[in-house]
């Protein structure tokens, strides 16, 4: 199987350690590709809107964005990690996610995403971990992914792995290992089930795109929906 990991920090701290514990269960069976942000990620989105309006490869950061996208589309399992920074995901992760705005279902989602599985690992000192996970989940779910598992931790007293009480480290290790073992049992040759909420979003956007296409059949997003057959009877979660 293939796993693509996007790390919201390049620091080899607690987030890194938690991610390593999770991945340990897959090391013998998986081909793992990792991106550490900000070093492996795109620069900030400048709001040129070329990706939305015309073509994603016109973006100044297209090469980096497309490299990440290729790895995401090829993977069976997507893993996103982030510490909470001021109650949210890191700026580096947000900067990367902004570049995938054009992949939100309201624009031009990749059909492969509907069958993907994803895990979000977050940690914080005391508060903000769940909003950090939500920042990432918002994008993943709007990319079309239904199967998203969140695994969050609160360190409470200490932000250095080695200084954390042993009991605390054991509990975190147990939680991550148990999730990894559960994820390991999945038959990745079958796409994940597409949930009702994802389908509702899809049908709402389909209605919107149909209307936009009537006003302007050359509209970029409408043409994409039409060429995928989604305005007609094709659905991204059904085998063709
Ligand atoms: C800029 C910055 C902002 C942070 N904001 C929060 C926060 O809002 N809530 C919190 O509980 N921890 C916060 N932390 C602590 C981190 O979430 C994290 O626990 C710590 O950086 C250890 O993780 P790391 O070793 O992976 O960097 C912050 C840390 C940094 C550097």
Query: Which tens digits make up the pLDDT trace of 144-155?
Result: 999 999 999 999
Residue with token string 């779910």: 141
How many whole angstroms from 37 Cα to the centroid of ligand 1? 15
pLDDT tens digits for range 206-229: 999 999 999 999 999 999 999 999
Calculate mean pLDDT across residues 5-18.
Answer: 98
Expressed in angstroms and rounded, the spacing between residue 235 Cα and the centre of ligand 1 is 41
**pTM for this prediction:** 0.97
**Which residue ranges form the domains of the chain, and what is each CATH number?**
2-193 (3.40.50.360), 196-240 (no CATH)
State the pLDDT at residue 238: 93
Any atom of ligand 1 within 6 Å of the Cβ of 123: yes
Confidence band, pLDDT 50/70/90 cuts, at residue 240: confident
* Number of Cβ atoms within 10 Å of the Cβ of 36: 18
Tell me how far CA of residue 93 lies from CA of 59, 144, 234, in angstroms: 18, 19, 33
Q: What residue's CA is closest to ligand 1, atom 22?
A: 159
């Amino acid at each position: 199987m293939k796993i693509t990991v996007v790390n919201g920090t390049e620091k080899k701290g607690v987030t890194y350690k938690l991610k390593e514990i999770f991945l340990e269960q897959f090391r013998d069976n998986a081909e793992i590709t990792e991106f550490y942000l900000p070093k492996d990620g795109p620069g900030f989105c400048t709001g040129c809107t070329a990706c939305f309006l015309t073509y994603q490869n016109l973006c100044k950061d297209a090469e980096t964005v497309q490299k990440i996208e290729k790895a995401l589309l090829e993977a069976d399992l997507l893993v996103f990690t982030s510490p909470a920074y001021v109650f949210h995901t890191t700026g580096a992760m947000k900067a990367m996610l902004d570049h995938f705005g054009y992949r939100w279902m309201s624009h031009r989602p990749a059909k492969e995403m509907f069958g993907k599985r994803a895990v979000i690992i977050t940690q914080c000192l005391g508060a903000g971990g769940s909003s950090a996970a939500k920042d990432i989940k918002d994008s993943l779910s709007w990319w079309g992914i239904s199967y998203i598992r969140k695994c969050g931790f609160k360190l409470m007293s200490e932000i250095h792995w080695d200084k954390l009480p042993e009991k605390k480290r054991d509990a975190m290790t147990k939680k991550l290992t148990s999730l990894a073992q559960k994820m390991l049992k999945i038959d990745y040759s079958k796409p994940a089930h597409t949930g009702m909420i994802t389908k509702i979003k899809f049908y709402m956007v389909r209605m919107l795109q149909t209307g936009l296409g009537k006003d302007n059949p050359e509209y970029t997003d409408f043409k994409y929906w039409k060429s995928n057959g989604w305005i007609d009877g094709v659905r991204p979660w059904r085998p063709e």
